[in-house]
Chains A and B, each alone.
Chain A
Amino acid sequence: MYQYDQYDQAMVDARVEEFRDQARRRLEGKLTEDQFKPLRLMNGLYLQLHAYMLRVAIPYGTLNSRQMTALGDIADKYDRGYGHFTTRQNIQYNWIKLEDAADILADLAKVEMHAIQTSGNCIRNISSDHFAGATFDELVDPRPYAELLRQWSSFHPEFTYLPRKFKICVIASERDRAAMRLHDIGIQIVKNEAGEIGARFFVGGGMGRTPMIAPMIRNFVPLDQLITYAEACLRVYNRYGRRDNKYKARIKILVHELGKEEYTRQVEEEFAHMLDIGVEPPREELARIAEHFADPTFEYGPKTVDRSDPDFALWVDRNTHRHKHDSYVSAVISLKPVGGIPGDATGEQMRLMAQLAKRYSFDEIRIMHTQNVVLPHVQIVNLPALWSELDAAGLGAPNMDTIEDMIACPGLDYCALANARSIPLAQRISEAFDASGKTEKLGELKLKISGCINACGHHHAGHIGILGVDKKGVENYQLSLGGSEAEDVSLAKITGPGFTEDGVIEAVEKVTDVYLARKEGEERFLDTYRRIGMEPFKEALYG
């Protein structure tokens, strides 16, 4: 994976010093809170309901065991012994003291990590496929391009005060495991008819209160123009994105209001101009970065494993993903134990995952946007040993992509924006489905819960989505069906009037019963919904 050189390290160190100085000026009263707020946000520091929250960047979700160990140590030293992995492949600490923030950033810098641009109206952490560099179905490893974009977007002098936050995702396979088209810019690395590798640009997607699927604006950008094209997309947005209303300030609104054709025309014009000016890094830089992502030395070994333990066999079936080398798999560590808080891990668990990565996965770890952890390169022969250690530490839940593997935002338990709680609802749903034994029958079913309209829990993209709203001071939950963040991307539709907390759990039961009764062949919940439409589900809910 990528390692900092002296330049990268100096940039991160400079940022820590800059932030220390900003905090000092804030304390001395030289900065007002209004002036300080965007600065602390650009260093990942939010003020939540009960305390400060620090969001640490995990670029394209990749980290090594030393970094994961440091994250665990920070949880113990500065938080309450745990951290929360997020849908941006980052980690958040929810109980941070402002006076500790600069020290935490310094601890992070020691292991080549930071909290730069994890919030604020700037280009955020670049996300990617959590199986990048390991999966059987990718064209190339997308991470070198993500790293090139990371460097370009870090402290970008022109794009630090954008109309609104800006999220970029890079994938390199037809399967979309990163919600690519629900990003401000989604980049798919593709091969053209001439056999050359390039970038396909989708611009103007997003969730939030106005969910939109990004349209494709360029089929193929040559790799030595990737940064230039991104810069053109951003400049048009920086100049013309709306600034009069923060709810209409994301690029999706600009693309929608201008129309895809007009936005594209403006980008192409800017792009042609920038090609003349020359903003692309030298070509050798991409080659230098790519060397960091060379495959580890895979060894041939057994391709099958003793499956006589049914619990182990179930975990293998559910939680492993096919690797490009047939003696290996990618193993998913579920952070969704039954009744647990989705995405939470204790400091101790983080250190254990770090050790296991070192022992079994060439020192590599990935964070999934579904709030789980991946050991990308596990030799098949090592799966039983890995599983028994995970299981003993409460990390062996065999539920990837099932209804128990739900995304939930922090909700009203932490977040100042939330209207309703998400976490207790997630806990109760996983308990209910585990108890009834229906999880297995339902197969792949993506349930996503947001505690407010900002949609951090991706409810628009859930096969089943739940949105918490405030109804005259009482928490109320709207149910929606038919969303997908994958290559078959779609936005979920609301079923009808909302439910109480108990009512929405019952409603989820009902819609899954409709699916089980109407399912044909190998259909997933989503497939059945798409075939039979909303009516049968409505009938069961409100009829």
Chain B
Amino acid sequence: MDNPLGTSPDEVQFRFREDEVADHATVTVDSCCDQTNATAVRIEPGDDARVLLPFLDRLALVEVNFPGFADGRGYSAARILREAGYTGELRAVGDVLIDQLSHMRRCGFDAFAPDKPLDEEDAARAFATWGNVYQRADDTSGGRRKTIAELRHD
């Protein structure tokens, strides 16, 4: 499939989902709003994730691109999608590095396709950085994980 925009399943280095990795034709946010059959979309840092909310049911993959790791807009995009009930794959792509993995995971990313493959051992350690967490975020929704404040008052 000619798919110059999105990452391919081979490029996904870490995935925290049980379902099959499907190979989707990834389109831009603008195209996604026009094409009623698009099932995969890529969000760039300047895109408003909320324009996708009417189409979440048909989306199976949302890629959030981090052209530079220091641009944190993608974290908000991820949470907005999860808060709206998106349950499909949320893949962080681009300049994804070891030290951003734990926060990305907390914001709802469940797949990671870094530009440059990451050291597996360093990544495993990074995902496990925080035994507990202060804030509510995607990982605490639906009772999946308790915040420190909730544990204190259990």
Contact = CB atoms under 8 A, between A and B. Distances in A.
Contact of A239 (B73, B99, B148, B152): B73
B148 A156 contact: no
Interface stretch (B6-14, B18-26, B28-36, B131-139): B131-139
Given A21-B125, A161-B75, A278 B136 contact: yes
Contact of B69 (A154, A161, A288): A161
A284 B154 CA distance: 10
Given A18-B129, A158-B107, A243-B71, A285 B119 contact: no
A14 B131 contact: yes
B125 A288 contact: no
A281 interface: yes
A121 interface: yes
A238 B151 CA distance: 29
Contact of B72 (A21, A152, A160): A160
Contact of A38 (B70, B131, B135): B70
B106 interface: yes
B130 interface: yes
B134 A155 contact: yes
A243 B149 CA distance: 33
B45 to A, nearest CB: 8
A282 interface: yes
Contacts of B151: 7
A154 B152 CA distance: 17
B83 A160 contact: no
Contacts of A121: 70, 72
18 contacts: A5-B152, A18-B99, A21-B122, A21-B125, A25-B98, A38-B70, A39-B99, A155-B130, A157-B107, A157-B133, A161-B69, A238-B72, A243-B45, A243-B71, A279-B136, A280-B136, A281-B136, A285-B149
Interface of B: 45, 48, 69-73, 75-76, 79, 83, 97-100, 102-104, 106-107, 119, 122, 125, 129-137, 141, 147-153
Nearest to A274: B83
Contacts of B153: 282, 284-285, 288
A10 B129 CA distance: 11
A273 B53 CA distance: 14
A39 B69 CA distance: 11
Interface of A: 5, 7-8, 10-11, 14, 18, 21-22, 25, 30-31, 35, 38-39, 121, 151-152, 154-162, 235, 238-239, 243, 273, 277-282, 284-285, 288
Nearest to B139: A157
Nearest to A32: B97
B72 A161 contact: yes
A120 to B, nearest CB: 10
Given A22-B99, A156-B135, A278-B136, A162 B72 contact: yes
Given A7-B132, A281-B150, 10 more contacts: A25-B122, A30-B122, A38-B70, A152-B134, A157-B75, A157-B137, A277-B83, A278-B136, A281-B147, A282-B153
